[in-house]
Amino acid sequence: MLSACIVSRDSWQIRKKVHRYFPPPADSRGLDGATGLSWRVHILPFLGKSELFQQFKMDEPWDSPANKKLLPKMPDIYNRFSSQLMMPADAPKGMTTMVAPNSDRTILGAPGRVGFGNIIDGSSNTVLLVVVKEPLAVPWTAPQDYKFDPDKPAAGLQFENGKTPVVLCDAFTCFADRENQWLYLFEMNDEEVVQIKN
């Protein structure tokens, strides 16, 4: 049975580095899914991947000829968000299921400058990162994340035994139960404060 508070070495590393990176540049937050580069690229220096980071053309879109060549160089950490959920060995190279909930009310989707002070629902009650099903995987360099249906916000999440790993905005990682009020957990400022069930 999965523990409610399993924290893998990789998820711990990711959440700490994402915290150091905030607030993210607007062009990395998936507002149009075309321009800029993902937050996953921007945190590379914090992951000890400065050499890879320096190979990117930061003034070009993620799929420019120069940047597209770097897709196969995806760090392993983006393929190991949890020890239980991994991309299959035959999955396309450079695709990741580690994404952020994306809407105008989520911290990695809202327009304008966003920081932790904008999380009025509380950082311990707001989801920062999730793992989605393989068909929803995105190029790791692209400013693309999980554009969920507000009526079925958990439909794209990857569950195992009724649990899915999430990173909260307070840098806590846990396995969350399927039976959560996911829309309220994704949105940072809906004034609907709910505690996550795990």
**Tens digit of pLDDT per residue, the chain (198 long)?**
334 444 455 555 666 666 666 656 555 544 554 558 998 998 888 888 999 999 999 889 999 999 999 999 999 888 765 444 555 666 678 999 989 999 988 988 877 777 778 888 888 899 988 999 989 999 999 999 999 999 999 999 999 889 998 988 887 888 899 999 999 999 998 888 888 887
Name the one residue in this structure whose structure tokens are 């999440």.
Answer: 157
Which residue has tokens 């009020």? 181
Is residue 63 one of the residues assigned to a domain? Answer: yes
Residues 6 or more apart from 72 whose CB is under 8 A from it?
93, 94
Structural domain contains residue 150? yes
Could you give the number of structural domains in the chain?
1
Long-range contacts of 84-87 (CB under 8 A, 24+ apart): 84/2, 84/160, 84/165, 85/131, 85/158, 85/160, 85/164, 85/165, 87/134, 87/137
| 132 falls within a domain | yes
User: Which range of residues forms the domain containing residue 162?
Assistant: 9-186
The amino acid at residue 82 is S
The tokens for 3 are 């523990």
In a domain, 176, yes or no: yes
The residue whose two tokens read 């709910």 is 194
Backbone angles phi, psi at 125, to 5 degrees: -115, 10
Name 173's bridge partners. 167
Q: What's the confidence (pLDDT) of residue 49?
A: 92
User: pLDDT at position 20, please?
Assistant: 66
* Per-residue model confidence (pLDDT) at position 6: 41
Answer whether the bond into residue 23 is a cis peptide, omega within 30°. yes
Whether 169 is in a domain gets the answer yes
**Radius of gyration of the chain measured on its C-alpha atoms:** 16
Predicted local distance difference test score (pLDDT) of residue 190: 85
Q: Does the residue 3 lie in any domain?
A: no
Please report whether residue 198 resides in a domain. Answer: no
Q: What is the pLDDT of residue 87?
A: 58
